[in-house]
A and B are shown apart, each in its own frame.
Chain A
Amino acid sequence: MRVFSYADGITSSAEKQILRKFKGSEGKKVLQLFRDAANKGFVAAEGKAGIKKITPTKLIGKEYTHEIKIISSQYGDYRIFGYQASSGEWIFDLFREGLHK
């Protein structure tokens, strides 16, 4: 029996967005950072890698309730946004930057 992890919720669409932004091995490295962070599970708002709750808005899409946050001095301001589908599975399909100064 296969055990599903949170990282399985990162969709091919999000992977493509990452690989479009970061070419070659850099893209794979960034993807792995997100996979590792997702598998850490849920974290509070403060500075830890993992899945973090956000306040959904109309512009990002009301369905987006969580983000995967990574800790990295190079890619730390990027996020993958996602939600839990009615079936219970987690879907992380939107890659973009988080808050900016």
Chain B
Amino acid sequence: MSFDRDADAKLLLDQDVLFKKAHLAMEKYLRDWYCSEREDFWNEFHAAPEVIISNFSIENECIHVGKDFFISNLEYVSVSIELFNPSQAKRWEYTAFYSLADDFELLDNHLLKKNVHRRAISKNSSKAGESVTWIDRQ
């Protein structure tokens, strides 16, 4: 599928803004998880949200533009951020999904343990009912 050229240009200009939005959303996600499921959170990270934010390595990873025909039928942009804890040697990826049609409203988000195999698959193929354009951040 093709995307509107003006929208693409706007998105490229707004990458820093999107990453900043995603960072704030991730901090909220971590705090909400910590407040609602403290034991699960601790088992996962062995640290409180403030420690994660200040001590873990947090890097902007990539921005994708996609469309999910099954669920929202909206063009969306996903913003991924990688968290790395050197003491556990573990990586996680936080992804926030924003609506392209509705002023970058947050549609959904999740934080998953990073798996190299899974990443390789998602980079090379898109699933049925879904179209993805990659904009890797250099």
What residues on A are CB-neighbors of B66 within 8 Å? 99-101
Question: How big is chain A's contact interface, by range?
Answer: 20 to 34
Closest residue of B by beta carbon distance from A50: B36
What residues on A are CB-neighbors of B111 within 8 Å? 47, 71, 73, 76
Q: Which of A55, A59, A99 contacts B97 (CB 8 A)?
A: A99
Residues of B in contact (CB 8 Å), total 40
Identify whether the interface residues of A are mostly helix, strand, loop, or mixed.
loop
Q: Which of A69, A74, A76, A99 contacts B68 (CB 8 A)?
A: A99
The answer to whether B28 touches A99 (Cβ under 8 A) is no
Please report the number of residue pairs spanning A and B whose Cβ atoms sit closer than 8 angstroms: 94
Instruction: Judge whether A3 is part of the interface by a CB distance below 8 angstroms.
Output: no
What residues on B are CB-neighbors of A60 within 8 Å? 70-71
The answer to whether B25 touches A100 (Cβ under 8 A) is no
B interface residues, Cβ below 8 angstroms from A: 25, 28-29, 32-33, 36-37, 40, 44, 62, 64, 66, 68-74, 76, 78, 80, 92, 95, 97, 105-113, 122, 126-127, 129-130, 132
